[in-house]
Every structure is written in C-alpha cells, then in structure tokens.
Structure 1
Amino acid sequence: MTPSKIRIATASPSTQSTTPETLSQITHLARRAASNHIDILLLPEAYIGGYPRGTNFGCVMGSRSAEGRDEYLRYFQVAVDLGDIVGEGGAGGLERWVRRELVGDEVLGQADGKGGEDKVKNKRGDGTREELEKIARETGVFLVTGCIEKAGGSLYCSAVYVCPKMGMIGKRRKVMPTAIERLVWAQGSPATLRAVSTVIRGVRINLAAAICWENYMPMLRQSLYSQNINLYLAPTADGRDTWLPLMRTAAIEGRCFVVSSNMCVRKDGGKQQVKTNGGPVISQQQQSDTSAVADPSQFHKKIRRQSVFDEDGNEIVLPCCDEQGDVQVEAEAEVDDEAMSTTTAKTSLSSSAAPAATAATAAPASAQPLKVDSGKTFKSPVIDRSTGTKAEEEFVSRGGSAIVSPFGDVLAGPQWEDDEGIIWADVDFEDCIRGRLDLDTAGSYSRNDSFKLTVEGLDLSPLPYH
C-alpha cells in the first residue's frame, strides 16, 4: 500500500448471542483489521442489538398479542443506550451529545448497598459508547457500525462513527424504517444526515451513511452528495443480488467510494433465526450452551467462492476448484486470524472459452491467506445463483458486502456466504475529484439554478477538501 492510498474495508459478521459477545467480536475484527493495516472498517446495519429478521412481534392489522409485547420488551432490553436523548423529531442531542454536554442522570438509590437512600450520579448510557471508543483507540481503526439504540421509550436503527483519536464524532438515526420495521423503530430526524470528517495520513475523508433502504431514496442520496462526501457508507440488511447495482449507481452518482456491509447469517449457526413454530426467536436472547464442546471436524464446511463480472456487468459466482475439479473447503475452526483481501476483476467470456473461468485475485503483501487443508475436497453440485436455491437452505441472509469505486467498478466483494472474512481495497481519494471532471451531481452538473434541495434541520453546505 502506497502512502497516498487509504485502505477501506468491510465485513459480513452476524450478531452474536449477547451484546457483550458482539462487542467482543468487534474487538476481534478491529484487531484483525489493524494487523492488515486497514484504516476504516464498516460493519452491518443493526449489528449491535440485532436485526429481528423473521418476526412480526405478534402484530397484525388491528391486533397485538401479549407474547409479541413481551418479545418487544426483550428486544428493547438488549438495545444499547448510548447516552443520547430523543431530541426534536428524533434528532437526539447532535453536537451536544458528541461533545458530552448533555446533563447526566442523578437518581435516588443505595450507593453502598446497605440501606438508606443516597443520590447516585450515573454517567449517561450503558457503557457501549465508551467500549466502542476504546476499541477504536486501541486498534487505530476508524469504526462505523450499525446498532439498535434506545432513547426514552423508543428504539432507533442507528450508525455510529468512531474515530481512534476523537471518539464518537457523529451518529445517524435511520430516517425511514422500512415496512414492518416501523413497528419497532422510530423515525430519526434528517438532521442526523450530517456528514463527518476524519484525516488519515494527511488525506481528508468526508463520510456519511445511508442505512439500508434509505439508499433507495433519491433525495436522501442527494443530501449526502451535496455535502461533498468522498466516502459513502451503506450498512444494510438487504442481501439480494439487486443490492450491488444500487451501490454501483450511488458510486457513479456521487463520484465517491461506496462501502456496503450486510450480515451473513446461517440458519444453523445459532446466531439469528427465523420464526419457528414455537414463536419468533431473537438472536440476543439465545444463550450459549457451554456444557458441550463442539467437535471441530463437524463444523460447517464453507465453499470458498469467487466472483467475476462479464462485459455487461453481470456477476458470475464460481467455486474455487483444485486441479482435479474438486472444490476446496475449510472448517471454521481452521480459519486464520488474518483474512484474505480479494479484488474482483472484469473478465470477458467468449463462446470459444472454457465453461469455467478464473477470477483475478490479489492480496496485499501484508495479508495472510486463509488456511486451507488441501486434503479436504468434495464434489460440488452446480448451484443456481439466479434462484439461490442452495443458499436459501443454509442461510437466512447471504451477506454481499462490497466496495465500489467512484466510476462504478467493484473493487472488493460481493462477499457472499462468508461471516468471518474481511475484504478491503486500497484507494486513492483523488479519484473522487478525477470523476468530477464530467459529473458533479451536487455542483456543476446539478443545474442548481433550477433544481433546489433543502432538508429540514440539515446544513447542506459542502465540506472542504482539505
């Protein structure tokens, strides 16, 4: 990696059984990222607190069940308290929260536990903010992660920006929860769409996040472009093949690097499950069974796949085969603490070419490849990626995290069916300026003398380059 380039990364981990376990996993990911000289790491939507996929909280039109209310109670209890307030329109404390200027809590309680009442002054929040700041500070990695945040009596789907030097420098609250999400997540204020900045090795990076289907809102995307961002972040829960084209569109529109992150969730992984006959199961409520130690030989085997793109931009997903045509697999217990970085190259397929093609794969010199036992092979059936039949049997969500350039090229990913790896790309942020030569959707190309965008509570003044 040359000094002028910044290494940006993403991953597809799934929420763990408890919030402390998820925070521990973030620590593990951040340390691995640091060992691979990664500067910025994006993690999925609702990663801390969990995405309650497959449940309806006992609600149908005109009716709610007592069981559903109990389930909401459990979900609320495991959401994190970042010490913020509801604020006007769900804006929270904004800069006052960032600067820790909100008034602390003071309650009547038993300070010594021996009876009697004393005033106990509590710091704001449950310590999650401080833990994330500690992880970023100790690893030197700028973290952006999704979380389910509680404030007052409401839950918000949020994303936090955690700087290694400054701590939390901003927080997003999802403006428009999608479909049944509206039952449990309140609407955040568009005032939280404000972009933030960091400087890494002398390079100023203006970054902002659009959460999941907010990315389908053209005016919301435009509000981010208008702030002169060069890094567009898209934590999501959308694992469909149609997601990547949207990310490529945002990159081209905004002439910015786009990083997307979505959880890869296994049906049999005990991390997050769909609704069962016994009722909905939320990942945070599952308790780890420590009474039995799993046999590593029985761990789920993963096919290591690659992706290539044809001239029309269509993704072709291929298994990694050995010389005999067998598919190499690896046990989860054998994965090294370092993850392989892959860069996807466009490959042209002609009618005279062989049925199988190879992807160009490159790893930085600092990367340590995944350990693969070459003696473990098996014949793999053809998997129809257009229907996803095989994947649907094994995964609740397939992931699909990716990194895209300002010209719409896929630099890393999509990371399908991999809940352990980290993918990254070394990027030159001056490519964002190079792209403005012919397209600047918030400036010279916008015809802002005719088309005007205003956002309630949000200053759209563009951030500087330096």
Structure 2
Amino acid sequence: MPPQTLTLAVSQSRTLSSLSATLTALQATAQLAATKSVDLVLFPEAYLGGYPRTCSFGAAVGARAAEGREQFLRYFQSAVDLGDTPRGAGDEWIDKELDVAKGKEYRGDGTREFLERVARETGVFIVTGLVEKAGGSLYCSVVYVCPHLGVLGKRRKVMPTGSERLIWAQGSPSTLRAVTTTIKGVRLRMAAAICWENYMPLLRYSLYSQNVNLYLAPTADARDTWFPLMRTVAAEGRAFVLSANQCMKRKNLPDWITGKNSGESKEVTSVAKTNGRRRSTVTVKEDKHELVLPDTGSGSAIADDAADPTDEEYVSRGGSCIIGPLGDVLKEPLWEVEDGGLHIVEADFEDCERGRLDLDVAGSYSRNDAFHLEVDGLDLDPPP
C-alpha cells in the first residue's frame, strides 16, 4: 500500500479591507503553499467577508441605532455571493444546475469561480471560511474547493454564537455532511465545525459518526481555552485537527468599524478574473515556531497610526494550531503573527486507524445498542 501521507497547512491570514484584496491575498497564500508542496490549506472563520470583531451594529435590547444599520449595510456589501439560495440548494448548487440570469456567465459575484481557478492553478485543496449572503440574510459558511473538481461542498454554521445571532442566520444541519475526496492515493473524509460549534457535543458527535479523518475547525476564538478543546476533539475523533484563526491588531479593523480610513480600496467588485501575485517568501523564527510568510514588500503594509497607541493592541491574537489523532500537538498555537503565517505538517493518515485500537467513539465504543443520535436532514452513516 502506498504511503498514506499528505502535507497539511493552516493559514493565519487576516481579512483585508475589501473582498478583492482578501481574495488576492488568499491566492498569494495558495501559491506559497504550492511551493511548499502543501496538499490542503485551511483559512480562518469568516476570512472572506470578515469577522466584525468589536462591532455592535448599534443594537441594544429593544433598540437599533441608525448608524448600526449603516454598519450592517457595509458589512452586507462586503459579504460573498456564491449564487446559492437562502434555503440552500445543496447538490444543485454544487453541480451548478441552478438557473443563471440572462447575459450572466455564472451565478453570484464570481468568488466561487475565483476560488476554483486558484485551486486548479496551484494544485492546492482550499478550505476557507467566509460570510455568505443569500437573499437578505448572511451566513457564516465554509467552502471546500478541490483542484480537479471545483467546489465539493459548502456548509453553514448552524448556531451563531452570542452577538453573531444578530447578523448571521442559522444554517441547516444537513450541511454537516462530510466531504470525501482522494489526494495522492489518500482517502479523505473531511468535515468542518465552525468556532463554538466545537463546544456542541452532539454536533461534534455527528461528525465523528461519519468517520472523519480530517476535522477542520476554522475559528474566531483566540482564548487560551480553545487549544485544549482542539486536543480533546482530536483525541475523541482520532482525526487530524486543523484550526485556523485570524490575528489582527485594532488598527487593521475595517474602517466601517473604527471610523478611520485605512487607505485601502473599499470597492466590492466581481472577482472571478482578479489576478494578483506575491513574488517571494521568507522563513522566519517566531519564538519556537518556524513560519513561512509572504514577502509583502514595501507597499502592502498598512501604515501605523502612531497617534493612538491602542491601535497596536491585538483584538485577536490568533492561535492557529494542528493536532494529531492521539491529541498530540503537531503545531502549537501561533500567537501574535498577523500577516499570513503558514503552519505546515506531514500527516500520516494511518495514524487515525492506529488510534482506533483503543477508542472509536462512534463505533463499538459508543454503545450504539444503548445510545442513539439523530440529526434532521443528515445521514450520520460514513459517506461512501
């Protein structure tokens, strides 16, 4: 049997001030990953469209302020249109069987087509968090993009956390279905739990039941409690766990939150044919981490605002990490590295089966003669 190893990566990338700029940065990171022979890379929760950290949208119980509605307008305009329906068209959307408007090349704003092209050109399987608009609602979503077949699946967060419930709608549990693919002879069964969905034991179990060997956890949680949760998930599920979070200083929050002008373009455009490249990379030591960073050059950094020292505060410290199937730490949390650090590991997927010697939480160890879980609209049997 050929080696069952793949090169996996998490990208600690932060959202830039426009969708087109963030997509260009994603493309550069995928190109960088390709030079490192990465097979699959995970980007953070809400990477495309942005996580509106610190933003209240002018809301209090029983009251909404006009300026909060303007903030929501800007946020809605920055979200991604993948051409799906509010209810979620499932396989019809994945297979591009939905109607396309007359005179249009594709449904949506072209983001799907852009991601498919980047995956195809780099040979890297891309999984990214994004904020998706469908109808008049926003959803926190994850999309799986294969270099050969394009989009294989998409899921929407079923339970937005805390204040997220104000701005994000609930996704269907049916989207928790695992995605299968084969990369270099390695059979992958992957599924994503978004941020605090990982604190939902039954949701985690719904993924374990599908016999996933690659568990993806894009997040916005930079608390110290997140890392031990990821170790628990890996040990419970006997799967490789990738967790990616954004690292961001206050000065780099979008100007519709801070009220400042960052100097970057705010135009939201069709992005299917956008092209941008970063030509070189640097490898640096950050404490005990060896990181691969894009060489952004002199013109890409946002200028510091020396007049306000609080601008240098981190509103999210990152914490992206990779855990092995026995709960062993393969890459420790990456703290306070803001500009796209890549954590890369070689993963032997036979380690998942080695771990089943003494624990299979959704198999014999589950006592499925006594305990049962059902999820509306979701087949919990392992996918073919």
Q: TM-score range by the shorter chain?
A: 0.7 to 0.9
With over 3 angstroms needed to count, the CA separation of the structure-2 counterparts of 1:368 and 1:55, relative to structure 1, is closer
1:238 lines up with 2:221 in the alignment: yes
Q: Distance in 2 between matches of 1:280 and 1:411?
A: 36
Aligned-residue offset at 1:392:
10
Aligned position for 1:14: 14
1:280 lines up with 2:257 in the alignment: yes
Contact 2:39 2:125 in 1 (8 A): yes
Aligned-residue offset at 1:427:
0.8
Aligned position for 2:90: 94
Aligned position for 1:348: none
1:423 lines up with 2:343 in the alignment: yes
Secondary structure of 1:413's counterpart equals: strand
What pairs with 1:257-272 in structure 2 (closer than 5 Å)? 257-268=240-251, 270-272=252-254
Aligned-residue offset at 1:17:
1.0
What pairs with 1:241-390 in structure 2 (closer than 5 Å)? 241-268=224-251, 270-272=252-254, 280-281=257-258, 286-288=262-264, 337-339=281-283
Q: Distance in 1 between matches of 2:380 and 2:89?
A: 19
Secondary structure of 1:222's counterpart equals: helix
* CA shift digits 1:23-54 (9 cap, x unpaired): 00001100110000001100000000000000
Aligned position for 2:370: 450
Q: Which amino acid is 2:213 matched to?
A: N
Q: Distance in 1 between matches of 2:372 and 2:319?
A: 34
Aligned-residue offset at 1:338:
4.5
What pairs with 1:30-49 in structure 2 (closer than 5 Å)? 30-49=30-49
Aligned-residue offset at 1:463:
2.8
Secondary structure of 1:46's counterpart equals: coil
Aligned position for 2:271: none
Q: Distance in 1 between matches of 2:382 and 2:285?
A: 33
Q: Distance in 2 between matches of 1:10 and 1:281?
A: 28
* CA shift digits 1:123-145 (9 cap, x unpaired): 21000000000110000000000
The CA RMSD over aligned residues, in Å, is 2.6
With over 3 angstroms needed to count, the CA separation of the structure-2 counterparts of 1:187 and 1:193, relative to structure 1, is same
Q: Which amino acid is 1:170 matched to?
A: G
Aligned position for 2:326: 407
Aligned position for 1:378: none
% identity of equivalent residues: 56
Contact 2:125 2:147 in 1 (8 A): yes
Aligned-residue offset at 1:103:
1.7
Secondary structure of 1:411's counterpart equals: strand
Q: Distance in 2 between matches of 1:70 and 1:45?
A: 23
Aligned-residue offset at 1:394:
2.5
Q: Which amino acid is 2:197 matched to?
A: E
Contact 1:226 1:442 in 2 (8 A): yes
Aligned position for 2:317: 398
Aligned-residue offset at 1:5:
1.5
Q: Distance in 2 between matches of 1:341 and 1:435?
A: 32
Aligned position for 1:439: 359
What pairs with 1:10-159 in structure 2 (closer than 5 Å)? 10-87=10-87, 92-106=88-102, 120-121=103-104, 123-159=106-142
* TM-score using structure 1 length: 0.72
| Structure whose CA Rg is larger | 1
Q: Which amino acid is 1:223 matched to?
A: S
With over 3 angstroms needed to count, the CA separation of the structure-2 counterparts of 1:257 and 1:50, relative to structure 1, is same
Secondary structure of 1:11's counterpart equals: strand
Segments of 5+ residues of structure 2 without an aligned counterpart are 266-278, 296-308
The aligned length equals 357
Q: Distance in 2 between matches of 1:424 and 1:282?
A: 37
With over 3 angstroms needed to count, the CA separation of the structure-2 counterparts of 1:340 and 1:143, relative to structure 1, is farther
Segments of 5+ residues of structure 1 without an aligned counterpart are 107-119, 274-278, 290-334, 343-357, 372-389
Aligned-residue offset at 1:336:
5.8
* CA shift digits 1:374-429 (9 cap, x unpaired): xxxxxxxxxxxxxxxx9996211000000000111110131111123211110100
Aligned-residue offset at 1:370:
9.5
* TM-score using structure 2 length: 0.87
Aligned position for 1:308: none
